[in-house]
Amino acid sequence: MRAHEAGALHGDIGNRGPAWLRTPVDVNSLVPQLWPRHVVRAASGALEVAGLDVRDLAAEFGTPVYVLDEDDLRSRCREFRAAFPDVDVYYAGKAFLCRAVVRMIAEEGMFLDVCTGGELATALSAGMPPERIGFHGNNKSVAELTRAVDAGVGRIIVDSFAEIDRLTALARERGVRPKVLVRVTVGVEAHTHEFIATAHEDQKFGFSLAGGAAAAAAFKILDEGVLELRGLHSHIGSQIFDASGFEVSARRVLGLQAQIRDARGVELPELDLGGGFGIAYTTQDDPAAPHELAKRLRKIVDGECAVEKLAVPHLSIEPGRAIVGPAVFTLYEVGTVKSVPLGTGGSAADGRAYVSVDGGMSDNIRTALYDASYSATVANRASAAEPLLARVVGKHCESGDIVVKDEFLPADVQPGDLVAVPGTGAYCRSMASNYNHVPRPPVVAVRDGRARLIVRRETEEDLLALDVG
């Protein structure tokens, strides 16, 4: 490898791809852990999801389209609840939120965390019981806090002294006593991308443990007696596979619990360990099952409580990606295919195949933003062609508009083919944009052989309606 002035995505010379990517024996085969549970390649050669042919979905709803396997999402909710029977399991709404998903997770007995007024409005409009909502955010406005208090939101996770003051004034004005958790920055840097690691000290979230701000925040709330301090909250990042980060985090935050007990004689009854549990985007990822996570986290908390002589607090966790991420794939149509020489002076085999689809960074920014890796397959047919190492790219006016950096597709991939990218349920539609004035794709939920539109496709009329100039 050599450095490339345009960035790491352009730095790999040759067409071998990353070390973990293996040439498939059968380019048509699906790796089960990457796909929603009800996706198969049918006898026709096309993918089917919950009994529906993706070609029919493309014909009815167009492309790009996010396809949600509803029973997959629901089964993941049930698995987390079964693995954590005495724990409040909050679905992290920032991963993907719409009213249909709110209703699904509510029906499955989940709690919900939100982090903006818009997410809170969506939750309430879909009928989520407010007492089962947790409200996050590092800069909640007075209007957002007012809505949360008036709605009776179950937990507000306070993130700054300014917020404590705002919420205290609001509580006095309303004559209520909101239940709060203090978000603690524990100084644990998870093994993840810098921008999604959230517990090291040099970032915007929470109260520093090492600097004493977390203890000061807890003492302030207890001493003023206006807000009801229920416990502490810690979140160490996203796409985490190593439980050691949770062990260090729990040790430190429970140490703060003991410090509060010793200083004020109050043993806080709750502890939220956050989320960030990873999923499989490619064959290099090996996520733990919910029951394994439960076993590890329970052992960690029980052990640390015994050391600190604390009663085991009532726990909460916040899986988002782990529930919705694997339950969705994005379906695209191929527009162009190019073989691009890489300047190595070799044969055509030293080039790279660029497969351009009708979406891109406006519907999946994660590859460009986080250097994330994804998988893909030709979805409308099977092929007898040899595997070809390809890069799936979008239609936007950016050289970094890459959806899948490296994947083996059949060498006869051509315009008009459908390409499906799995693992796109989390942080794809929720982070989608209108870059280049491209309308955002729809979300279609599929269950028992039936498809229903749960988020409609934006139109050019929608874009122009906002343009009042």
Question: For 7, how many CA atoms within 13 A lie in the half-sphere containing its CB?
Answer: 11
- Catalytic site residue from 98, 115, 305, 397: 397
> What's the 3-state SS for 70-104?
HHHHHHHHHHHHHHCCCCEEEEECCCCCCHHHHHH
Q: Is 397 a catalytic residue?
A: yes
* Rounded CA separation 100/113 (Å): 16
Residue 39, CA distances (Å) to 14, 29, 72 in order? 33, 12, 10
Distance between CA atoms of residues 435 and 331, nearest Å: 19
Whole-angstrom Cα distance, residue 375 to residue 64? 16
Burial of 398 (0-12, 13-18, 19+ CB in 10 A): middle
Cis ω before 64 (30° cut-off from 0): yes
CA distance 396 to 236: 33
Instruction: Give the C-alpha separation, 319 to 290, whole Å.
Output: 10
- Active-site residue list: 397
